[in-house]
Structure 1
Amino acid sequence: MLNLSIILEDSARNAPDRAAVVFGDMRLPYSMVNSVANQVANLLVARGIGKGDKVALLCPNLPYFPFVYYGILKAGATVVPLNVLLQPREIAYHLADSDAKALFCFEGSPELPMGARGREGFDAAEGCEQFFVLPATPLATESVHGESIWAALGGMSAEFETVQTAPDDTAVILYTSGTTGQPKGAELTHMNMLTNAIVSDEMFPGNPDGDVTLCVLPLFHSFGQTCVMNMGLRRRATLVLQPRFEPGEALEIMRKEGVTIFAGVPTMYWALLSKIHADGVEVPDTLRVAVAGGASSPVEVLKDFEKTFGIPILEGYGLSETSPVASFNQLGRPTKPGTIGFPIWGVEMRLIDGDWNTIEGEGPGEIAIRGHNIMKGYYGRPEATAEVMKDGWFRTGDIATRDADGYYAIVDRAKDMIIRGGFNVYPRELEEVLMTHPAVSLVAVVGVPHDSHGEEVKAYVIPAPGVSVTEEELIAWSKENMAAYKYPRIIEFREALPMTATGKILKRELR
């Protein structure tokens, strides 16, 4: 038997009174979180949902998330976390594609009416039979959208014997962002998720006084699930939940709660630094581990953070299909800014060409990964699985180089590469150069259609406060600092850039 919920159960046995989850004024001990998860498991079994069934969860970073997540696992079912920004049509698609039998949906707010959207999507999805509302008002037993979880849990025992599941049984189905075609569900096993959480945890020594982790990465995303929730609860840390990232509030939480670990995407670090520099906000002094992933961090941001906070950002790399962590800059070995480190324990990486042939030396080439972290495949899509998996290896679609010490550095997503007049242009390389200009705060480079060159290079720039530059001046500067075929011919200044719920810049929207 192996069940991912052991992460919560073990910590509840050994540290029952320690705070597991903090949200606002609520401080919930491990014993309580485990007890409510047991009630959720009893509810599912009572409603005819059990081993092998799929149960969807549509919820931001609230205490409901671990309650329901681990309750589903305890019942032997598979968790299908959904992006909180999905519209009804998209919710219906995910429910139908995953064969979900139930949906737990947060009620939401007027600004984010998740309950109404979830109900509409549920009603349109054939085969999904149960709809439970997670009320916005704590412990409310009624909701206009359907059955409140608190009403449904009435009378349910807080004791539950976890259903036996095998290591290769599917624990979680994580949907990819769907940048090409419809989103696909990556089937991740109990062994995938548990091993990835354990290996991630053991890369960072624990704090003898107990760690406090700011949980702002969306828990519906693999990074937040593994590197914050599962890893944090395994080490009996306290998770401080922030449903929506706001840099000023995040810095205040860090100071108030004595946060020791922060995991975020590069744009979050950029926002924290911008807030500190613009408003003179006090820098929290308890932070001892800072982890970045989800996208490549600009080197200028890495340098600024270490100078400001006194600790480095440790960059890692992974995908939904890899549970997610595949490589990391790890404590105890030199950190190389701008790289994604080297493969974690039990994982192999290599560079390949389009025909799966290994590329020796520096590269560049496409990253392929093999190890305990690789998904079973895309749910219900054997053809799509066969396109990316061969002999246990998974091809990522990310282009990278590898130095003599074995450190990998992402050049770019293969799909983001710009082909200008027959030359390959990697946007990330240009973004790194542009970030060194004093008038540039944040930048995203994309390819736009061009009659004669095929594609032209365009940069979207958020200007740095108090420094002015014109499009012509920045283009001229770029021409002096980049090869003739690379530098951007078009620059557009913006106050903000479109981002996903996880903080990744949406280049497809910019295109």
Structure 2
Amino acid sequence: MLNLSIILEDSTRRYPNKDAFIYKDTHLNFLQLNSIANQIANGIKSLGIKKGDKIALSCLNIPYFPMVYYGILKAGATIVPLSVLLKKDEVTYYLKDSNAKAYFCFTGTTELPMVEEGYAGFKNTPTCEHFFVITEKLNDKSPIDKIKTLGMLMNNQSSKYSTTATSAEDTAIIIYTSGTTGKPKGAELTHSNLLQNAILSTGIASTQNEDNQLIVLPLFHIFAMTVLMNAGIYKGATSVLLPRFDAKEVLNLMQQHRISIFAGVPTMYWGLLNYQNDEFNLDTITTNLKTCISGGASLPVKILEDFESKYNIKILEGYGMSEGSPVVTFNHIDIGRKPGSIGTPVWGVEVKVVDENGNEVPIGEKGELIYRGHNVMKGYYKKPEDTAKTLKNGWLYSGDVAIKDEDGFFFIVDRTKDMIIRGGLNVYPREVEEIMMKHEYVSMVAVIGNTHEKFGEEIKACVVLKEGKSISEDELKAWTKENIASYKYPRIIEFMDSLPMSATGKILKKELKKSN
């Protein structure tokens, strides 16, 4: 038997009165969290939900997320975490595709009416039998007539529960990929996948019982879920929750709670780098910070260098995928790091760079990154054909173009699907972006391919300039041309106030392409 919720039960025995989560003025210790998760598990069981049934969860970074998350696990059910930004038709798709039997949805906010979209999606899914509103306070009334709340489900339920026996290879979570190609697919991750990835993540971040970590990455995303939440619960660390990234509030919480571990996506580091502040003591913040981690997308080297200079701390960059639970490679403190690299394989994972025939390419040559190990998903839920394309002889084909250097460090060149083919020549957007980021006036850039009658695709750069700086399109074009092969420089430059981003902070290149 192995159930991922064992990490909460173990830390409850060891640190019952220690804060597990802090949110605003709320302090939730391990014993309270475990007791509430037990009540939720008892409530789920009373619905007739059986081992292996799917339960969807939409919730911001607030204590209700881990409460329901571990409650579902204890009940032996499978969690289907959903983005908080989904609209009703998207909710319907995920509920139907995952065969969800129940759905827990937070009320949301004025700007983000989650329950309205969630309930509308639920009503269009006859196979999903139960809907529960997660209200601001457990005893709040339901905002929807005749619809029960999480508090009502928990009412009169025992705070004791004998966790349902699951096996290491049972599916614990179905995590949906972003759906950049076709409809999103649900990656089935096992209890073993997630437990081993959480344990090795504590080694990467040097997570200890006395650490305070800030979680602003969305918990519905596998990065925050594994590397921060599950890793923190496993070690008995304290997690401070923030539902939405705001540079000022991040710095405020870092200073207030003596944050020692922070993980973010590149746009968050960009936001912290560009925040002009006088009200915070950077010396205090940087003295407490021992680990900064970046993932989710490639971190431009210029941002990494400038952040490290300002905050006097090294950023450890890594690489992962939903299908890899998620961590595949990382820059390890004990092995060493290389700026711009995604590091070396994590414990128990083997990584190669191969050509189109699956043969390993020589050092320094481009190819597709593939990996195998304990982190690899079971497959895509109900999609055997897609699974067969991605999993071959135990190896997971990532779709990412990479190189391996002579020291065994891997570098992501770009996503296969983002590659631009201009006049028959391959152009990798990240390479162009890295060059343009070196210009003193450029703050952020995203390079995409525009359809072109003559060349097939033309290179376009969407550029955000630093505040108060100005440069013409021709000037920036000429500067870039001087610093990169002539076929790679952007022929089109569009200056923008900001770039569209996903709920996880990734730049949405497909939205930029739509607006062309």
Query: TM-score when scaled to structure 1?
Result: 0.98
CA apart distance, 1:281: 4.9
1:7-22 correspondence to structure 2 within 5 Å: 7-22=7-22
CA apart distance, 1:279: 6.1
Show CA shifts across 1:67-90 (max 9, x none).
000000000000000011110011
Corresponding position: 1:392 with 2:394? yes
Letter in 2 for 1:45: K
Show CA shifts across 1:109-136 (max 9, x none).
2211111111110010121001010013
CA apart distance, 1:280: 7.4
CA apart distance, 1:202: 2.1
What residue number does 2:257 align with? 257
Q: Equivalent residue of 2:69, what SS?
A: helix
CA apart distance, 1:333: 2.1
Q: Distance in 1 between matches of 2:158 and 2:280?
A: 47
Conserved in 1, the CA contact under 8 Å of 2:302 and 2:438?
A: yes
Q: Equivalent residue of 1:167, what SS?
A: coil
Q: Distance in 1 between matches of 2:343 and 2:279?
A: 33
Shift in alpha-carbon separation, 1:280–1:335, aligned structure 2, 3 A: farther
What residue number does 1:274 align with? 274
Q: Distance in 2 between matches of 1:467 and 1:411?
A: 29
Show CA shifts across 1:32-80 (max 9, x none).
0111000110001011012110000011111110000000000000000
Q: Distance in 2 between matches of 1:352 and 1:152?
A: 51
Letter in 2 for 1:393: W
Question: More deviation in 199-208 or 474-483?
Answer: 199-208
Corresponding position: 1:47 with 2:47? yes
2:426 pairs with 424, 427, 431, which one? 424
1:27-38 correspondence to structure 2 within 5 Å: 27-38=27-38
1:435 pairs with 434, 437, 462, which one? 437
Conserved in 2, the CA contact under 8 Å of 1:420 and 1:456?
A: yes
Letter in 1 for 2:453: D
Question: More deviation in 306-315 or 138-147?
Answer: 138-147
Q: Distance in 2 between matches of 1:346 and 1:457?
A: 40
Q: Distance in 1 between matches of 2:170 and 2:183?
A: 24
Conserved in 1, the CA contact under 8 Å of 2:211 and 2:237?
A: yes
CA apart distance, 1:369: 0.7
Corresponding position: 1:174 with 2:165? no
Conserved in 1, the CA contact under 8 Å of 2:445 and 2:461?
A: yes
Corresponding position: 1:3 with 2:9? no
Corresponding position: 1:363 with 2:390? no
Q: Distance in 2 between matches of 1:42 and 1:356?
A: 48
Conserved in 2, the CA contact under 8 Å of 1:141 and 1:151?
A: no
CA apart distance, 1:207: 4.5
Show CA shifts across 1:390-421 (max 9, x none).
11100000000100010000000000000011
Conserved in 1, the CA contact under 8 Å of 2:318 and 2:331?
A: yes
What residue number does 2:200 align with? 199
What residue number does 1:23 align with? 23
Conserved in 1, the CA contact under 8 Å of 2:328 and 2:375?
A: yes
1:38-437 correspondence to structure 2 within 5 Å: 38-144=38-144, 146-207=147-208, 210-276=210-276, 281-283=280-282, 284-285=285-286, 286-437=288-439
Q: Equivalent residue of 2:20, what SS?
A: strand
1:454-469 correspondence to structure 2 within 5 Å: 454-469=456-471
Q: Distance in 2 between matches of 1:466 and 1:123?
A: 50
Conserved in 2, the CA contact under 8 Å of 1:275 and 1:281?
A: no
Conserved in 2, the CA contact under 8 Å of 1:142 and 1:151?
A: no
Conserved in 1, the CA contact under 8 Å of 2:252 and 2:280?
A: no
Say how many residue pairs are matched: 509
Query: TM-score when scaled to structure 2?
Result: 0.97
Conserved in 2, the CA contact under 8 Å of 1:141 and 1:149?
A: no
CA apart distance, 1:206: 3.8
Q: Equivalent residue of 1:457, what SS?
A: strand
Q: Distance in 1 between matches of 2:375 and 2:383?
A: 19
Show CA shifts across 1:436-479 (max 9, x none).
10110011011111110111111111101132211111011111
What residue number does 2:492 align with? 490
Shift in alpha-carbon separation, 1:282–1:138, aligned structure 2, 3 A: farther
Q: Equivalent residue of 2:308, what SS?
A: helix
Show CA shifts across 1:256-287 (max 9, x none).
111100000011000001004x7675422311
Q: Distance in 1 between matches of 2:310 and 2:360?
A: 41
Show CA shifts across 1:146-201 (max 9, x none).
21111121100000000110000000000001111111000000000000000111
Letter in 2 for 1:155: N
Q: Distance in 2 between matches of 1:337 and 1:40?
A: 44
Question: More deviation in 52-61 or 350-359?
Answer: 350-359
Letter in 1 for 2:198: A
CA apart distance, 1:309: 1.5
Show CA shifts across 1:184-226 (max 9, x none).
0000000000000001112333456x10110101110110100
Q: Distance in 1 between matches of 2:419 and 2:428?
A: 5
Q: Distance in 1 between matches of 2:390 and 2:72?
A: 29
RMSD between aligned alpha carbons? Answer: 1.2
CA apart distance, 1:357: 2.4
Q: Equivalent residue of 2:21, what SS?
A: strand
Letter in 1 for 2:373: G
Letter in 2 for 1:132: F
Q: Equivalent residue of 1:203, what SS?
A: helix
Conserved in 1, the CA contact under 8 Å of 2:58 and 2:106?
A: yes
Q: Equivalent residue of 1:38, what SS?
A: helix
Q: Distance in 1 between matches of 2:114 and 2:80?
A: 16
Question: More deviation in 484-493 or 135-144?
Answer: 135-144
